[in-house]
Copies of this chain bind each other. A is one copy, B any other.
Amino acid sequence: MTPRTAENGRPAIKALPEPPDLPPPLPEPAVADIRLETVLAALSDPLRLRIVRKLLLESEKFDHTCGWFGLDRPKSSLTHHFKALREAGITRQRQYGLERRSHVRIADLDARFPGLLDLVADWTPPER
């Protein structure tokens, strides 16, 4: 594992290479249009913080469906939160048949807001 920050010993957060031919991403802001206010607002919700953190720390394959997260909420709520993350520029979503899979736009966010994703990865959810 290549560490994300050389100083600490935390596991790496690494952008996975994108396979060549993929379904096009759902509508999302361009890198230059990602706004700090919007990103912070999107990340101020504990559920979305959990989603992004889990994507950062536990991603195995290229991207993951809503169901992979094991969130105990109705589907309509999940749609809401995943849409918020995508429209803020935090995640990218692609349609694979029926499934809509998400991953974090690591390179884009690192370029725009260096260090931000480390804070998310280090976050600990509030107990109970």
Contacts and interface: CB of A to CB of B under 8 A. Distances in A.
Interface of A: 35-38, 40-41, 43-46, 49, 113-116, 118-120, 123, 126
5 contacts: A36-B120, A40-B40, A114-B119, A115-B115, A115-B119
Prevailing SS type, chain A contact patch: helix
A44 B40 CA distance: 5
A59 B126 CA distance: 34
Contact of A35 (B35, B40, B126): B126
A118 B119 contact: no
A123 B36 contact: yes
B45 A44 contact: no
A43 B40 contact: yes
A38 B36 CA distance: 15
Contacts of A126: 35, 37
Contacts of A114: 115, 118-119
Contact of A44 (B41, B113, B116, B119): B41
A115 B117 CA distance: 10
Nearest to A113: B119
Contacts of A115: 114-116, 118-119
A36 B37 CA distance: 15
